[in-house]
Amino acid sequence: MKRILIISYLFPPCAKAGAHRAYSMAEYLPRFGWEPIFIAPENGYYGRIPRFDNALLDLIEKFPVYRIPFFYPFNNRNLSLFARSIRRFWETALLPDGKVLWNMAVKKGLSQIVTKHKPDILFITGAPFSSFLLAPYLKKEFGLPLVLDYRDPWAANPGVERNRLKARLVLPFEKKALDAADLVTTASYHIIDYIKKTVGTVAKGKRFFGFPYGYNEEFFRKKILAVTQGESSEKIIATFAGFVHGGINAEMILDGLKLSIGKDQKLAEKLRVECYGTLFGYSNNPQTLINKYNLSQHVILYPFLPYIEFLKVLRKSSFLLLPLGDSPIARVLYPTKFFDYLGVKRPILYIGGHGQVAETIIDCNAGVCTKSEPVAIAEALKSMLHQMNIKTWYSNDLRYKKLDRINIFSDFCSKLNDLC
């Protein structure tokens, strides 16, 4: 069995989206003749709201995992204003980001790990993209084939940097990292062209592979799809979970909802929107906003659920809300939540511009796409209502199965074999 050494800052038991990349590598690589060896932080900082899932460790710890400590100001659970201010300064002051000091700790133990396991390929996944700075060192020190995995765009991603000056400063780091890579993988197909356009000649000269998260068809079939779907004539349940991206806000969606129930009596009587975690990303008191729109009978807010319970809720829903936005970056992304939506095979109401997600929904016949405008949202809600029972969703089985992880990893491992 061939071996691949994977460096991943986001790593189980962290339950953020980036950690699921490492988890899926542990699940699927061995099926195609590859053994993963992992390098991860011992005390990584996982964001303002720490999210952990110890169940993710059951699979990942079947393989060698080297957890390397490093310093990051304050611990995961310190949410004071002072702590957040220090973290924000730390992330802004250090280039390319505040996790860059971890590289020094990784380098100290790397030779011993490589000598022991003799990997055939080295793989670095980001964000955080400071890990990519290891690429030139790895290439020079070990001379092994190197893969850089973009889960998001780097310097040209306003959603990550939010700072044009810093984006310019980190672009040379990105070019140097890319120059050392033998293969570049991306979490969506559209990110490939986005990176080539924004980074330039260095990126255009590299081999790319679209490597989306995908959905686990075997898991959904055995654990989730048997759950009874919510097609009762009593209520039409539209479900939303988590956060929003790309400039969409809660007021825009509530405006559209208000318009729709004002124009369609059936929607007014039957539609109920259930939000898990946040009210479309609204940061203040969500109930106050719901009351402002007089929607307390139509919009219900629930706390985050454990993953399996969350998927069962999605499966029981009449349809699922996916607000993404119309920014250039939003158009090239595949949110990981999107693949949970695809996995439960319920119709999706997508709110945003034409791009990667919209194309996939149209190709798979997985739902309705609309612009991020209140009037358009209202019309889409009405359209969804009238197609609930007459539309054959997910009819393009060939396109849909392309995003099954088993098929994605089959192609990915072929690319790895080509490098050896």
pLDDT at position 111, please?
93
- Proportion of the chain above pLDDT 70, given as a percent: 91
Q: How confident is the model at residue 258 (pLDDT cuts 50, 70, 90)?
A: very high
- In this predicted structure, the answer to whether residue 230 has a pLDDT above a threshold of 60 is no
Please, are residues 252 and 330 in contact by the beta-carbon 8 Å criterion? Answer: no
Rounded alpha-carbon distances, angstroms, from residue 202 to 6, 141, 184, 378: 23, 21, 12, 45
222 and 320 in a single domain? The answer is yes
Please, are residues 275 and 289 in contact by the beta-carbon 8 Å criterion? Answer: no
Q: How confident is the model at residue 159 (pLDDT cuts 50, 70, 90)?
A: low
Contacts 24+ apart (CB under 8 A), 406-413: 406/28, 406/31, 406/217, 406/218, 407/214, 408/211, 408/212, 408/214, 409/24, 409/28, 409/29, 409/31, 409/32, 410/32, 411/209, 412/185, 412/209, 412/211, 413/29, 413/32, 413/33, 413/34
120 and 167 in a single domain? The answer is yes
- In this predicted structure, the answer to whether residue 74 has a pLDDT above a threshold of 90 is no
pLDDT at position 45, please?
62
- Proportion of the chain above pLDDT 90, given as a percent: 59
- In this predicted structure, the answer to whether residue 350 has a pLDDT above a threshold of 60 is yes
For residue 128, cis peptide bond before it (omega within 30 degrees of 0): yes
pLDDT at position 229, please?
59
Residues 6+ apart with CB under 8 A from 335: 17, 245, 322, 324, 357
Instruction: Specify the higher pLDDT residue, 242 or 213.
Output: 213
- In this predicted structure, the answer to whether residue 390 has a pLDDT above a threshold of 90 is no
End-to-end Cα distance, the chain? 13
pLDDT at position 287, please?
92
Report how far residue 374's alpha carbon sits from residue 416's, in angstroms, rounded to the nearest whole number: 46
Q: How confident is the model at residue 266 (pLDDT cuts 50, 70, 90)?
A: confident
Instruction: Specify the higher pLDDT residue, 266 or 53.
Output: 266
Report how far residue 259's alpha carbon sits from residue 254's, in angstroms, rounded to the nearest whole number: 8
118 and 46 in a single domain? The answer is yes
Please, are residues 68 and 42 in contact by the beta-carbon 8 Å criterion? Answer: yes
pLDDT at position 389, please?
67
Which of 148-152, 159-163, 174-178, 415-419 comes out lowest in average pLDDT? 159-163
pLDDT at position 75, please?
58
| Side-chain-side CA neighbours of residue 401 (13 Å) | 7
- In this predicted structure, the answer to whether residue 157 has a pLDDT above a threshold of 80 is no
pLDDT at position 76, please?
57
Report how far residue 138's alpha carbon sits from residue 122's, in angstroms, rounded to the nearest whole number: 8
196 and 290 in a single domain? The answer is no
pLDDT at position 168, please?
81
CATH number for 60: 3.40.50.2000
- In this predicted structure, the answer to whether residue 400 has a pLDDT above a threshold of 80 is yes
Which of 54-58, 184-188, 260-264, 295-299 comes out lowest in average pLDDT? 54-58
The alpha-helical segments, DSSP class H, found in 188-319 are 190-199, 201-204, 217-223, 250-263, 265-270, 286-292, 307-316
pLDDT at position 51, please?
67
pTM confidence score: 0.88
Locate 183 and state its tokens: 């293969």
User: How many structural domains does the chain have?
Assistant: 2
Domain limits for position 230: 218-401
225 and 195 in a single domain? The answer is no
Please, are residues 321 and 238 in contact by the beta-carbon 8 Å criterion? Answer: yes
SS3 376: helix
Compute the average pLDDT of residues 188-205: 91
pLDDT tens readout for residues 131-141: 999 999 999 99
- In this predicted structure, the answer to whether residue 73 has a pLDDT above a threshold of 90 is no
186 and 201 in a single domain? The answer is yes
182 and 244 in a single domain? The answer is no
164 and 281 in a single domain? The answer is no
231 and 199 in a single domain? The answer is no
193 and 258 in a single domain? The answer is no
pLDDT at position 161, please?
44
Which of 36-45, 352-361, 366-375 comes out lowest in average pLDDT? 36-45
Mean of the per-residue pLDDT values of the chain: 88
Compute the average pLDDT of residues 202-219: 94
Report how far residue 293's alpha carbon sits from residue 185's, in angstroms, rounded to the nearest whole number: 44
207 and 242 in a single domain? The answer is no
Locate 129 and state its tokens: 């993209």
- In this predicted structure, the answer to whether residue 232 has a pLDDT above a threshold of 60 is no
189 and 277 in a single domain? The answer is no
- In this predicted structure, the answer to whether residue 112 has a pLDDT above a threshold of 70 is yes
- In this predicted structure, the answer to whether residue 116 has a pLDDT above a threshold of 90 is yes
